[in-house]
């Protein structure tokens, strides 16, 4: 795909998700079923509560991550710059989209310049799992990390989106082995994440066995990328197929619980709530999010 076509697609994605009337969540993430056990005798000073945490060896003032965002089109430079500045000011982690900038070697995305804007926070590079199948896929992974001076590399798994996307990657053979290869060569921890359809326990276990250090389940209940691609469909039939999967996926809570049971110590899991909430709900062991 040409750089122009890829940038146009990214622009369309951004326009669609910014329009609250399109691609709304049609399935609940599941957090409404969690009820916290309150304590009537807290024995603490509210002003002394400390949300500091660490991720991939970097300190954070709160356990929050701005995950993979837009990149590659002209307005992406300002978006990513503003997000980097905000993340640095707030002391939270950030990741952005790098596909177009890596393929075209331009600066519209996350680069060392943005690392200079956010020198102290956990900053993560990002690449699609399907991209690893390209002839230079592992080199792209390495360049993604180098371009950002990243603390980790997110590999996003979006087979549903690719399946209903007009120009999507349909062939996912060999992706797990390539993720294992990336884990060996990039020099930073690998974070495997879904993009809104959730990860099963069996997939999470396979990823960890391949060398993945962190799991982000990114379950159903937020943005539906099937619905987003449905909005981009070229004809009514393609739109109908995509929209039939708008509520497809494992709700975030269900995914977190399943992965947590299968992997009690190997990784931590994030969904549509912050890590502190997951820990308080006893879905995440405190050992995986160390206090600052």
Domain of 63, CATH number, reads: 3.20.20.70
Q: Is residue 271 part of a domain?
A: yes
Mean pLDDT to the nearest integer, 115-123? 92
How far apart, in whole angstroms, are the C-alpha atoms of residue 127 and residue 169? Answer: 14
Residues 142-157 pLDDT 10s:
999 998 899 999 999 9
- With 90 as the cut, is the pLDDT of residue 127 above it? yes
Q: Is residue 67 part of a domain?
A: yes
Backbone angles phi, psi at 39, to 5 degrees: -120, 120
Name, in order, each residue with C-beta under 8 angstroms of 15's C-beta and a sequence gap of 6 or more: none
How many CB atoms are located within 10 Å of the residue 5 CB?
10
- With 90 as the cut, is the pLDDT of residue 61 above it? yes
Name, in order, each residue with C-beta under 8 angstroms of 176's C-beta and a sequence gap of 6 or more: 206, 207, 210
Q: Is residue 42 part of a domain?
A: no
Report the C-alpha dihedral over residues 113, 91, 62, 254, rounded to 10 degrees: -10
Q: Out of 18-27, 158-167, 265-274, which region has the weakest mean confidence (pLDDT)?
A: 265-274
Backbone angles phi, psi at 68, to 5 degrees: -45, 125
Q: What pLDDT score does 110 carry?
A: 53
Q: Is residue 16 part of a domain?
A: no
Range of the domain at 132: 51-288
Residues 192-227 pLDDT 10s:
999 989 999 999 999 999 999 999 999 998 888 999
Q: Is residue 201 part of a domain?
A: yes
Q: Is residue 27 part of a domain?
A: no
How far apart, in whole angstroms, are the C-alpha atoms of residue 189 and residue 211? Answer: 9
Q: What are the residues facing 291 on neighbouring strands?
A: 53
Could you tell me the pLDDT band of residue 120, with boundaries at 50, 70 and 90?
A: very high
Q: Out of 96-100, 181-185, 223-227, which region has the weakest mean confidence (pLDDT)?
A: 96-100
DSSP letter at 33 equals: G
Domain count, the chain: 1
pTM of the full predicted structure?
0.84
> Kind of pairing, strands 123-128 and 152-157?
parallel
Stated length of the chain: 292
Q: Is residue 164 part of a domain?
A: yes
Helix, coil or strand: residue 96:
coil
Residue 51, judged by CB atoms within 10 A of its CB (0-12, 13-18, 19+), counts as middle
Q: Is residue 21 part of a domain?
A: no
Residue with tokens 């790098």: 98
Q: What pLDDT score does 200 carry?
A: 95
- The pLDDT mean for the chain works out to 83
């Amino acid at each position: 795909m040409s750089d122009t076509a890829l940038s146009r697609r990214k622009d369309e994605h951004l326009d669609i998700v910014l329009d609250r009337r399109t691609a709304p969540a049609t399935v609940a993430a599941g957090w409404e079923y969690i009820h916290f056990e309150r304590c009537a005798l807290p024995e603490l000073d509210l002003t002394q509560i400390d949300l500091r945490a660490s991720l991939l060896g970097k300190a954070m003032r709160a356990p929050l991550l701005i995950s993979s965002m837009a990149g590659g089109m002209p307005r992406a430079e300002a978006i990513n710059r503003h997000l980097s500045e905000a993340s640095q000011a707030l002391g939270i982690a950030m990741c952005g989209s790098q596909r177009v900038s890596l393929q075209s070697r331009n600066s519209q995305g996350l680069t060392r310049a943005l690392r200079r804007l956010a020198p102290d926070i956990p900053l993560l590079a990002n690449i699609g799992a399907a991209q690893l199948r390209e002839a230079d896929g592992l080199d792209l992974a390495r360049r993604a990390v180098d371009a950002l001076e990243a603390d980790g590399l997110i590999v996003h798994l979006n087979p549903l989106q690719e399946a209903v996307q007009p120009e999507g990657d349909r062939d996912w053979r060999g992706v797990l082995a390539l993720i294992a290869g990336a884990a060996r060569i990039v020099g930073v921890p690998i974070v495997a994440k879904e993009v809104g359809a959730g990860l099963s326990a069996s997939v999470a276990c396979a990823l960890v066995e391949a060398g993945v250090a962190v799991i982000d389940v990114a379950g159903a209940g937020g943005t539906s990328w099937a619905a987003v691609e449905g909005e981009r469909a070229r004809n009514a039939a393609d739109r109908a197929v995509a929209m039939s999967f708008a509520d497809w996926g494992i709700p975030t809570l269900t995914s977190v619980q399943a992965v947590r049971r299968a992997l009690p110590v190997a990784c931590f899991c994030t969904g549509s709530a912050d890590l502190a909430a997951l820990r308080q709900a006893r879905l995440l062991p405190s050992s995986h999010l160390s206090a600052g």
